[in-house]
Amino acid sequence: MNILIVKLSAIGDVVHTLPALNALRRYYPDAHITWLVEEAAAELVVGHSGVDRVLVSKRQAWLGRLLKGPDRLASLAEIWRFGRQLRDTRYDLIFDFQGLLKSGLLIFLAHGTRKIGFGPGMQHQEYSYLFLNQRVPAISMDVHALERGLRLVAAAGVPIDEVVYNLPVRQVDRQRVATLLAASGIHGAKPLVAINPITKWDTKNWDNGKFAALADRLLATYDVDLVFTGGLGDRPEVDMILAAMRGCGANLAGQTSLKELAALYEQCCFLVTTDTGPMHLAAAVGIPVVALFGPTAPGRTGPYGDRHQVVRLALPCSPCFKRQCERGECMAGLTVEQVMAAVIQVKACS
């Protein structure tokens, strides 16, 4: 039995697909499972106990080099090799968890007996269902993304009895995190709390001054060590938050790999975050999450599970899924008091 999983991006989407992978592995313990993923989230799949082979699409890098630069021929050669790898196996089952044109084209190129995905009627499909020969009836996008993935494999006859992530976090990742924390003066004497403040959407971001005030409230209320996380490009914003605080925190934005970030969250009591990929990593390692939501829908892509708290205003225009908004009230209207109330709820249930 050869199985191909197509889930290319992004970080949260790949995390949400891990329970479906583990369900397939439980039902087909001897199957050879390949996962096709893009570079940004590949680290969450490489080394996973449920995956035998990982095919990495470098689509964005290839396109960038083809459009400009002296490496066009090298890029074409890489694309050719990738295409040959994609077609070197005849798959019994191919699952399109992405449901976009970019995944549909790759599924079209792959050799497969059953190419399974959702049929017409799903939002943002881009006609990806045209490349399938087994179309599962469309379901509401208001069903959580993780559950949509489980329903897809269930439609292929795979029992769904539990949600398991099994993130491939290694001891070396935990040791690296311990080194980073120690270099920031954090040695485990106090409970550790993480804040992940920055997203790529302006409309999902909260005011830096409010994050600074929240951080000071956490320090004063709970006597904890604070660590800020994010990508390398988030470091200047985190530095601005730290500069506005009365207390101290560690800026580890851009200092960890995805596996190291998961290892860091393992050590935390809880995470306060905007709607972004690390939110799902924290939920996957089992810590409570306080998630700030504005233009997006927590029912679709919020932290999965019942240990978490979502803070949102639920304005009539939300969720709008806009990346740009002149009003921005859905995030600007959130108060430090509201977030602290959610933290208290999380602490009471932990």
Residue 271 β-bridge partners:
194, 289
pLDDT tens for the chain, residues 1 to 350? 999 999 999 999 999 999 999 999 999 999 999 999 999 999 999 999 999 999 999 988 888 888 877 788 888 999 999 999 999 999 999 999 999 999 999 999 999 999 999 999 988 889 999 999 999 999 999 999 999 999 999 999 999 999 999 999 999 999 999 999 999 999 999 999 999 999 999 999 999 999 999 999 999 999 999 999 999 999 999 999 999 999 999 999 999 999 999 999 999 999 999 999 999 999 999 999 999 999 999 999 999 999 999 999 989 999 999 999 888 889 999 999 999 999 999 987 66
Kindly list the domain boundaries of the chain, sorted by start residue.
2-154, 171-349
CATH architecture group of domain 171-349: 3-Layer(aba) Sandwich (3.40)
Which residue, chain included where needed, has tokens 């851009």?
254
CA-to-CA dists, residue 325 to 51, 209, 294, 296, angstroms: 41, 20, 11, 13
Sheet with 53-57, edge to edge strand ranges = 53-57, 32-38, 2-6, 90-96, 111-118, 134-136
At residue 72, the pLDDT reads: 84
Question: Would you state the pLDDT for residue 349?
Answer: 67
Q: Please, how many CA atoms are within 13 Å of residue 192, restricted to the half-sphere of its CB?
A: 22
**pTM for the full predicted model:** 0.94
Q: Which positions ≥6 away from 110 have C-beta within 8 Å? A: 4, 86, 87, 91, 94
The pLDDT assigned to 274 comes to 98
- Cα separation, 323 vs 105, in Å, equals 27
Does 2-154 match 171-349 in CATH topology?
A: yes
pLDDT at 64: 82
Q: Is 252:227 a contact under the CB 8 Å cutoff?
A: yes
Q: What is the pLDDT of residue 198?
A: 95
- Is residue 52 a contact partner of residue 32, using CB atoms and an 8 Å limit? yes
Please give the sequence-ordered ranges of beta strands (E in DSSP) within the chain, or none if there are none: 2-6, 32-38, 53-57, 90-96, 111-118, 134-136, 192-196, 225-228, 250-251, 268-274, 289-292, 309-311
Mention the CATH class of domain 2-154: alpha beta
pLDDT score for 124: 81
pLDDT in the model for residue 67 = 80
pLDDT value at position 110?
A: 98
Return the pLDDT at 73. 85
Separation of alpha carbons 328 and 201, rounded Å: 12
